[in-house]
Amino acid sequence: MTDSNINPSIFRAYDIRGVYGTDLTEDVMESIGNGFGNGFVKDAAVVGMDGRVSSPGLKKAFIDGVLKAGLDVIDVGLVPRGVCLFWAWKVKKPSAYITASHLPKEWNGIKFAYDNGVEFLEEDNRKIGEVVLKGKYKSAPSPGKTKTENVIDNYKKFILSKISRAARPLKVVVDCGNGTGGLVAPELFSQLGFGVKTLFKDVDGDSPKRPWVVEDSALSELKKHVREADFGVAYDGDSDRMSLVDEHGRVLGPEVASYIILQDLVKSEPGPIIANVECLKIMDEIAKRNGRQIHRVRVGNSFLVQAVLEKHACFGVERSGHFCIPSIIPMDDGIAASLYAACALARTGKKLSQIVDSLPLYPFKRIKVDCADELKFGVIERVKKRLSAEYANVNTIDGVRVDFDYGWVLIRASNTGPLIRLSVEADDARKLLELGEKFLKILSEEIEKSK
């Protein structure tokens, strides 16, 4: 029998997410905690949260659900996402982190991870949803116990033991966005020898001074202040994503940050490079320059980190701003990635803008096309068949990507909304326009056929 009071749409491919008070309440979260404890926890789990106003109450409810299933909880409290993952990895326990990442304050949710730091794959996220929706609540004869631990200092010491001090005392502006990054990042930059100016350091889940995203449109204050420094860095709400900003105020894509990291990392670390299917073709050129293989994976940082571990890669990157440097910490951690990138930059002896200007960046465009949730995956299957029959270099691991000598196209359904995204990159603006128009026409035709 299903629980008709719970909106099934909160159970997503990568996490659980909904509007607080409407889709996600304390009662719902207790059921989710119980479902997590009922099958995914052996003895204990690590639980943390971001700085949203609703997070403390939802965390308590989630923990109550786990305890009623008879399992123990290690509560690490308000910490960046990477700190929660780190401690779960150290104590070899699965973890749950209360967050809606970069979404507005009205939202909240939860991300699960296995004891090796890999986020739950879609299959296991769905299993929790099935257990909860079927009302399979587990009440153990005796409840579990909660142990509260302050692990931020452990994380700081660990990171400082893995990253060498800056070769030059560069000046950095750290934009924490009133998220969890302010709890650790400014101090770590300072400990590594950087001159630090901090923006929006205090955690504020009610009225943050900027949106919890690391996109150009949200970083106006950082772009202004960084002109008096050597570079800037920004984090999202739970600090698992990061963006670098050069001294001219240009917000850099994850591929540019990857270049800076890899120019230094490959000197000491063996192994291939992992990038998802959305990443720009500069990643292929970076791999070629450094004599490394590159493996493309599905979108989603669970697939990214899993591939890094399975293929013994030196590095992994997601187009959305997630990074994994396993020689530092074998999981997705925006703070660790930003610190390594900063120290790598300091070792170059160059300005960040000089490095950016030397890179071959090509025109790129992403087009969002409305498509109903019940149709979008069927449309993608139709597009796969059509393009696989027409073109030679086709990748269908996640949507369908077609590569040409002069560019590439990716058509992929959104996992979070009624959208299909068309991404195009080409050697010049004319080819970009041609590819965009051609494949948008194909996509539109297949959507019409599916209606």
Give the CATH number of the domain where residue 106 resides.
3.40.120.10
Name the domain count of the chain: 3
CA atoms in the 13 A half-sphere facing the CB of 197:
16
Angle between helix 122-133 and 26-37 (nearest 10): 120
Give the rounded percent of residues in the chain with a pLDDT score beyond 90.
Answer: 94
Q: What dihedral angle (degrees, nearest 10) is formed by the CA atoms of 391, 392, 395, 396?
A: 60
Query: Distance between CA atoms of 364 and 201, rounded to whole angstroms?
Result: 33
289 contact partners, CB below 8 Å, separation of at least 6: none
Instruction: Verify that 217 and 284 share a domain, yes or no.
Output: yes
Element (H, E) at 342: helix 334-348
Q: Give the lowest-confidence range in 3-17, 243-257, 325-339.
A: 3-17
1 within some domain: no
Instruction: Verify that 275 and 324 share a domain, yes or no.
Output: yes
pLDDT in tens, 339-352: 999 999 999 999 99
Instruction: Verify that 123 and 88 share a domain, yes or no.
Output: yes
Instruction: Verify that 178 and 278 share a domain, yes or no.
Output: yes
Which residue among 133, 150, 167 closes a domain?
Answer: 150
334 within some domain: yes
Judge whether residue 67 has pLDDT over 70: yes
Which residue among 106, 128, 150 closes a domain?
Answer: 150
What local confidence, expressed as pLDDT, does residue 4 receive? Answer: 61
What local confidence, expressed as pLDDT, does residue 3 receive? Answer: 60
Instruction: Verify that 139 and 159 share a domain, yes or no.
Output: no
On whether the CB atoms of residues 180 and 200 are closer than 8 A, the answer is: no
Instruction: Verify that 212 and 238 share a domain, yes or no.
Output: yes
Count, residues in the chain? 451
Instruction: Verify that 272 and 387 share a domain, yes or no.
Output: no
3 within some domain: no
What local confidence, expressed as pLDDT, does residue 322 receive? Answer: 96
**String of b and e for 174-212 (b: at least 16 CB within 10 Å)?**
bbbbbbbbbbbbbbbbebbbbebbbbbbebbbeebebbb
- Report residue 250's pLDDT band, with 50, 70 and 90 as the boundaries: very high
pLDDT in tens, 293-311: 999 999 989 999 999 999 9
pLDDT in tens, 185-203: 999 999 999 999 999 999 9
What order do you get walking across the sheet with 195-199 strand by strand?
Answer: 195-199, 171-175, 231-235, 242-246
Judge whether residue 242 has pLDDT over 80: yes
Q: Give 153-188 as a DSSP string.
A: HHHHHHHHHHSPPPSS--EEEEE-TTSGGGGTHHHH
Catalytic center residues: 101
What local confidence, expressed as pLDDT, does residue 1 receive? Answer: 36
Query: Distance between CA atoms of 201 and 210, rounded to whole angstroms?
Result: 12
Judge whether residue 320 has pLDDT over 60: yes
170 within some domain: yes
What order do you get walking across the sheet with 273-276 strand by strand?
Answer: 294-297, 273-276, 315-317, 323-325, 329-332
**347, 349, 343: which is closest to 188 by C-alpha?**
343
What local confidence, expressed as pLDDT, does residue 2 receive? Answer: 47
Instruction: Verify that 274 and 201 share a domain, yes or no.
Output: yes
**At 205, is the secondary structure helix, strand, or coil?**
coil
Q: What is the mean pLDDT of residues 23-52?
A: 96
**At 217, is the secondary structure helix, strand, or coil?**
helix
Instruction: Verify that 176 and 58 share a domain, yes or no.
Output: no
Instruction: Verify that 390 and 312 share a domain, yes or no.
Output: no
Distances (CA, A) of 347 to 117, 167, 242, 263, 434: 29, 5, 20, 10, 41
Instruction: Verify that 206 and 325 share a domain, yes or no.
Output: yes
Instruction: Verify that 176 and 198 share a domain, yes or no.
Output: yes
Give the rounded percent of residues in the chain with a pLDDT score beyond 70.
Answer: 99
Which residue among 150, 165, 200 closes a domain?
Answer: 150
What local confidence, expressed as pLDDT, does residue 107 receive? Answer: 96
Domain of 403, CATH number, reads: 3.30.310.50
Q: What amino acid occupies position 381? A: E
192 within some domain: yes
* Domain span including residue 59: 8-150
Average pLDDT, the chain: 95
